[in-house]
């Protein structure tokens, strides 16, 4: 599937978090899709037949782990997307699994500079 530059997907089951991240990313000149869980995110991608450049997902989303959602989306979009898990969890098992799966971790509290850095990186890919 094709990848659209400057398109981000935010997955979080908290509507306020989705709106906050989405608004900030839009303020940086990107287009944003939002979803409450992995199934909604997959439907957005399939419906548009286009993958975002960046996918941000909370550690826990409705009905599944954020990592499971990201891995399912990677099966649709492939490796050219920057996959990021937003988490406060620094357990060595999780950190190792994320590294093994090629998923970036951003640790809470997430700062605006963290998002800007990810946008710059995803925009170059």
Return mean pLDDT, the chain.
Answer: 95
Residue 125 pLDDT class (50, 70, 90 cuts): low
The topology (CATH level 3) of 7-110 is Rossmann fold (3.40.50)
Cβ-based neighbours of 101, under 8 Å, separated by 6 or more: 67, 70, 71
Q: Across residues 69-92, what is the average pLDDT? A: 96
Alpha helices in the chain (DSSP H): 15-27, 38-48, 66-77, 92-101, 112-124
Q: Taking a C-beta distance cutoff of 8 angstroms, is the pair 50, 1 a contact? A: yes
- pLDDT of 13 higher than 80: yes
63 pLDDT band, cuts 50/70/90, is: confident
């Amino acid at each position: 599937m094709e990848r659209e530059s400057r398109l981000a997907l935010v997955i979080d089951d908290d509507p306020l978090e989705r709106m906050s991240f989405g608004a900030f990313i839009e303020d940086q000149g990107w287009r944003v899709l939002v979803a409450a869980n992995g199934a909604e995110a997959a439907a957005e991608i399939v419906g548009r037949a286009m993958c975002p450049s960046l996918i941000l997902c909370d550690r826990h989303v409705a009905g599944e782990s954020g990592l499971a959602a990201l891995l399912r989306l990677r099966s649709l979009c492939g490796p050219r997307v920057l996959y990021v898990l937003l988490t406060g969890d620094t357990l060595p098992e999780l950190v190792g699994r994320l590294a093994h799966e090629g998923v970036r971790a951003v640790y809470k509290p997430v700062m605006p500079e963290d998002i800007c850095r990810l946008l710059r990186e995803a925009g170059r890919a």
